[in-house]
Amino acid sequence: MFAKKNVCSFDILLPALEQAMDAIILIDDQYNVLFFNNRAESLWGYNRHEVIGRQLAIPGIRIADQGKSVCAEHMGKRYDVQITHKEGQRIWVSLALSKIEADGKYYSMGILHPTGINAHPEEDNPIRAQTHFDALTSLPNRRHQYQHIDELLKGPEQQRFAIFSIDLVHFKEVNTTLGYSAGDTVLIKVARRLEEQLYKSAFISRSNSDSFVLVTTECNAERAIVLAEKILSLFRVPFDVSGFALDINASIGISLYPENGADRDTLLRHANIATHSNRMPASGGYLFFTADMDQVDQERMILAAALKSAIANNKLRLHYQPQIWLKDGKLYGVEALARWNDPILGDVSPAKFITLAEEIGEIEAIGRWSLLEACRQMAEWRRDGVPIPVVSVNLSPINFYNDSLPEYINGLLTEFQLPPECLTVEITEGVMMDQRPETEKVICAVRDLGVGLSMDDFGTGYSSLSRLAHLPMTELKIDQSFMQDFQEGSKTKAIASTVVRIGQSLQQMVVAEGVETENQKLQLQALQCNIAQGFLYSKALKAADLVSWVARLH
Ligand code: C2E
Ligand code: MG
Ligand code: MG
């Protein structure tokens, strides 16, 4: 707070500031730079004529509040912040902000003193960089964010503020499909977009991975909605990364002080719970925290603990769904689908527990267990003379990051004395698009064993035909979503026909998933699609039930 106001006239003030040893800027309540002294020119690399009359952003700091000049929370304080030099270097400066009155109006005055110059903060000033700013995006980090919220909580009692916890939807897929450096570029671009557009309204920080936190003062629910809409609008323009125009969406969870918590941890936790609420639309959006979400979060923790225990105690099961040749109705193979029945929670859908397993780091174990169990079952069927030609196992992209996967599969084939042709591994477009040579090596090594490679859910991810042709795939599965509205003249049918043609020209088997009606089957036959899988024939069955089903088919 200010002990006393600095009141004077510009005639006296400006020449004095020009002579100062530190860089000095004056900003009006619209953020426009009014004055930029000699030292500021050399510190920033800009000539004052390039800056005066324009707006200036200093990440993490709101220099002014509309109509109030220096933003209340920053007044009279000193900050270690980074500014961007005209040539692009990030410069650490110590910034002191104060309010002055000149010629009857209020202005913000920033006095800046360089503390180090570097492109990567950690190279030059490791302690400061690691303690206050995120090295990748240069945004304030979690520690800085904690300090900021703590200071707000120490402020006047009637002070209201809102916390926005922002997560990027499907960010993991960017990492897995385009690689980690593309993921990093997305994070940097998101940080810059938030910073450029919202520095006036919020403190912007990065918590971890793809998670950003914005804090804004004097914010009630209505103002929070306006800001949430604004944040979402920033994500409507695609991000240009590695030559792709990526549509990245955001999920925003909002907690309000004082309504949703009295302390920093509760407020952040509640905003985060809202971000991950199952009410959040799959394509992102915003939600305010409500007390019942807390309950859902606790349920998720219980589910995670139960899943870990089910995996450790071998309680998952595989069910098998038949795949049928469209030309003659004979059995082509079966797809193994994981099932989990918990004694207390009941049947938990794979959509739920596979996603959870990915989040809690258990998905690799599930993939390896599925391979083991499918091979064991296949060996049993072969021993009993059950005519099931091939079993397909779903793997997650994570399974392909471990270069021991081919060796593991080879070990199973040897242990259960199976020819490699009776096993197919299903991968998603995510793995296909991962251009890292290590992943490609693992995919090729699995194929070199003689095991089939199927591309699951084709048409739902970032497809690339050149990638499809490049990798040694043996099978293409048309995603079940294409079976909806599968009628003459529909767009989905046009896409499905194209996928069939692609498969044919690449000499891959084409499997249509989610076939439910006789009409869909007839149309697929007319398109000369090879194989159909879906409820028209059977849902996924227990191993024993499948044996009787197959007996009836023949
Ligand atoms: P997916 O591999 O695309 O499996 C096909 C899904 O479609 C299965 O859902 C299956 O039950 C469902 N389905 C089959 N026929 C029809 C139909 O005619 N109509 C409709 N509406 N749906 C049909 P499920 O079993 O719920 O599995 C969902 C997803 O979970 C699977 O999709 C797969 O991605 C994943 N998953 C299942 N088991 C495993 C596993 O062992 N490991 C891994 N990594 N993922 C698995
Ligand atoms: Mg599948
Ligand atoms: Mg599928």
Residue 58 C-alpha from the chain's centroid: 27
Percent of the chain with pLDDT over 70: 88
535 CB-near residues (< 8 Å, 6+ apart): 514, 515, 516
> Tokens representing 253?
């969870």
- Helix (H) or strand (E) holding 161, with range, is strand 161-168
**pLDDT digits 0-9 by tens, 269-328:** 999 999 988 889 988 999 999 998 888 878 888 899 999 999 999 999 999 999 999 999
In this structure, of 35-39, 176-180, 223-227, the range with the lowest mean pLDDT score is: 176-180
Measured in Å, how far apart are the chain's first and last C-alpha atoms?
Answer: 86
35-65: burial string, b at 16+ Cβ within 10 Å, e else: bbbebbbebbebeeeebeeeebbbbbbbbbb
Q: DSSP 3-state assignment of 382?
A: helix
Every domain of the chain with CATH number 3.20.20.450 lies at 317-553
Query: What is the CA(533)–ligand 3 centre distance, in A?
Result: 10
How far apart, in whole angstroms, are the C-alpha atoms of residue 232 and residue 373?
A: 44
Specify which of 65-69, 208-212, 539-543 reaches the highest per-range mean pLDDT: 539-543
CATH class of this structure's domain 317-553? alpha beta
Does domain 3-114 fall under CATH 3.40.50.720? My reply is no
> Tokens representing 502?
């692609």
Q: What is the number of other CB atoms lying within 10 angstroms of the CB of residue 1?
A: 6
> What's the pLDDT at 28?
79
> Tokens representing 384?
């009993």
Instruction: Select from 354, 393, 402, 457 the residue to mutate for testing ligand 1; criterion: most ligand atoms less than 8 Å from CB.
Output: 354
Instruction: Write down the architecture of domain 134-289 according to CATH.
Output: 2-Layer Sandwich (3.30)
How far apart, in whole angstroms, are the C-alpha atoms of residue 108 and residue 124?
A: 30
Measuring from each residue's beta carbon to the nearest atom of ligand 1, which residues come in under 6 Å?
321, 337-338, 349-351, 354, 366-367, 370, 394-396, 426, 456-457, 480, 513-516, 534-535, 540
> What's the pLDDT at 125?
46
Residue with the bigger pLDDT between 15 and 361: it is: 361
Using CA atoms in the order 177, 130, 77, 111, what is the torsion angle rounded to 10 degrees? -80
Say which amino acid occupies 57: A
Whether residue 4 has pLDDT greater than 50: no
How far apart, in whole angstroms, are the C-alpha atoms of residue 52 and residue 31?
A: 11
What are the φ/ψ torsions at residue 318 (nearest 5 degrees)? -110, 135
> What's the pLDDT at 122?
39
Average per-residue pLDDT for the chain: 85
How far apart, in whole angstroms, are the C-alpha atoms of residue 517 and residue 452?
A: 28
**pLDDT digits 0-9 by tens, 419-471:** 999 999 999 877 776 667 888 899 999 999 999 999 998 877 655 677 788 88
Do residues 370 and 311 make contact, with C-beta atoms less than 8 angstroms apart? no
In this structure, which ligand is nearest to the CA of 483? 1
Average pLDDT over residues 161-187: 88
Ramachandran category for residue 527: left, alpha or beta (phi over 0 → left; psi -120 to 50 → alpha): alpha
């793997």: which residue's tokens? 395
> Tokens representing 91?
């410069």
How far apart, in whole angstroms, are the C-alpha atoms of residue 503 and residue 465?
A: 11
> What's the pLDDT at 120?
38
Every domain of the chain with CATH number 3.30.70.270 lies at 134-289
Average pLDDT over residues 149-171: 89
Residue with the bigger pLDDT between 415 and 344: it is: 415
Q: Which ligand 1 atom is the nearest neighbour of the CA of 318?
A: 41
Do residues 266 and 258 make contact, with C-beta atoms less than 8 angstroms apart? no
* Protein residue with least CA distance to atom 33, ligand 1: 394
> What's the pLDDT at 80?
73
Residue 503: name the closest of 468, 456, 463 by CA: 468
Residue with the bigger pLDDT between 554 and 279: it is: 279
Every domain of the chain with CATH number 3.30.450.20 lies at 3-114
